[in-house]
Amino acid sequence: MERTPAKRSSLFLLELMIAILFFCLASAVCVQIFVKAHTISRETQELNTALEKVSGYTELFLADALTEDTEVFYDASWQECSKDEASYEIVIRVEPDGKLLHGTFTVQRLSGEQPEEIYSVETDRMTGTERE
């Protein structure tokens, strides 16, 4: 009858291993949730900044201060920079259409070989004179 303590200790070790496994799985799920939340937060911040920048250029276009195609480059902290240091690009295309000027404003992330579009908006403005 001296073998019962060995059974109790092995049962305790098995129970302890199951508890450790459960906490490992729970922590892995929590880490994935935190990583996903961080990614969503970063993308949201990027989109909000892109919207803010495009809104400013759209207002310039509507106020007749922006009438030509333009490309503006920004670094990772959204400060204007040269093309070589750029992480983001705002492409502004202005096309005349009779008495209208059609503006297309696109924000792109310059990572990898192909730029990735973050946000794009189009707007029109009356000019009062016929343009080609």
Parent domain of 16: 4-131
DSSP string, the chain: -TTHHHHHHHHHHHHHHHHHHHHHHHHHHHHHHHHHHHHHHHHHHHHHHHHHHHHHHHHHHHTTS--S-EEEEE-TTS-B--GGG-SEEEEEEEEEEEEEEEEEEEEEE--SSS-EEEEEEEEEEEEEEEE-
pLDDT < 70 positions in the chain: 1-6, 130-132
Structural domain total, the chain: 1
| Residue 38, pLDDT score | 97
pLDDT at 67: 84
Q: What is the pLDDT of residues 29-63, one digit of tens each?
A: 999 999 999 999 999 999 999 999 999 999 999 99
